[in-house]
Homo-oligomer: A and B are copies of this chain.
Amino acid sequence: MAADAVVLLSGGLDSSTALSWALKVKKWRCHCLVADYGQRHRREITAALRVARRARCPVHRIKFRLPWGGSSLLNRRQALPVHAPSAIGRGRIPSTYVPARNTIFLSFALSLADVLDAENIVVGANALDYSGYPDCRPKYYAAVQKTGRLGTRLGTEKKRPLRVWAPLLHLTKKDIVRRGARWGTPYELTWSCYRGGARPCGRCDSCRLRARGFQQAGLPDPLLG
């Protein structure tokens, strides 16, 4: 019998590829968790719903706001950073870091997993490209897994240990795109641009990382086709 997984799906390149991995490599029954947290690139949410629908996975939507802000990704009046691709992920935490966002997402995922009896949680985090974010480091995911095992009914009553999977954590964007394409990830439905305009801006960190990934993988980005 196939195991169940809760997949954090943002609608971007990484999380959509992580969903493909869970479906194609692991053959899990996947439940997609889609979050509306006031992100300025609201097209991301539509993209996530389309990717989930294409994969025929049930969607669970959550909505919350961080009244205390603290990120350029939540505030349209704040400038988005523009780094050279080689500088992204080096040095200081970028202004697009949303305080403890991944921890909040994962805590909702733990709640859903607890109700569904799903023993797997999948997140598309990547330690190389986004190493500027503290919540994209391997040690962090081990700590979240431990929190989940200790803090849920699932982790307490069940024999099967809850696991948090970050299958893209150590991959380059090039490898993510290559594998994702092989797994049939519908990249034409995904959305990466932080600005969230009608078309990708091509200048924000997220657009640059995506472009570099497709370029190095030797594949065209279907979103720009």
Interface residues of A (CB under 8 A from B): 60-70, 93, 97-104, 106-108, 110-112, 114-116, 134-135, 137, 139-140, 143-144, 146-148, 150-153, 155-157
Number of copies: 2
Minimal Cβ-Cβ distance residue in B for A64: B64
Minimal Cβ-Cβ distance residue in B for A146: B143
Q: Which residues from B are CB-within-8-Å of A106?
A: 107
Contact A70 B140 (CB under 8 A): no
Question: Closest Cβ of chain B: how far from A135's Cβ, in Å?
Answer: 4
Question: Closest Cβ of chain B: how far from A5's Cβ, in Å?
Answer: 15
- Identify A151's interface contact among B61, B70, B140, CB under 8 A: B140
Complex CA gap A108/B98 in Å reads 11
Instruction: Using known A-B contacts A108-B104, A115-B69, A115-B70, determine if residue A153 contacts B62 with beta carbons closer than 8 Å.
Output: no
Contact B156 A151 (CB under 8 A): no
Contact A99 B62 (CB under 8 A): no
- Most chain B CB within 10 A, of A70, A107, A116, A140, is at A107
Instruction: Using known A-B contacts A140-B150, A156-B134, determine if residue A64 contacts B63 with beta carbons closer than 8 Å.
Output: yes
Contact B144 A111 (CB under 8 A): no
Complex CA gap A151/B138 in Å reads 10
Q: Which residues from B are CB-within-8-Å of A63?
A: 64-65
Q: Which residues from B are CB-within-8-Å of A93?
A: 153, 156-157
- When A and B form their complex, which 6 residue pairs have the shortest distance between CB atoms, in order from nearest? A100-B111, A99-B114, A70-B115, A135-B151, A140-B150, A134-B156
Q: Which residues from B are CB-within-8-Å of A115?
A: 68-70, 99
Q: Which residues from B are CB-within-8-Å of A103?
A: 107, 110-111, 147-148, 151-152
Q: Which residues from B are CB-within-8-Å of A137?
A: 150
Q: Which residues from B are CB-within-8-Å of A100?
A: 107-108, 110-111, 114, 148, 151-152
Q: Which residues from B are CB-within-8-Å of A102?
A: 151
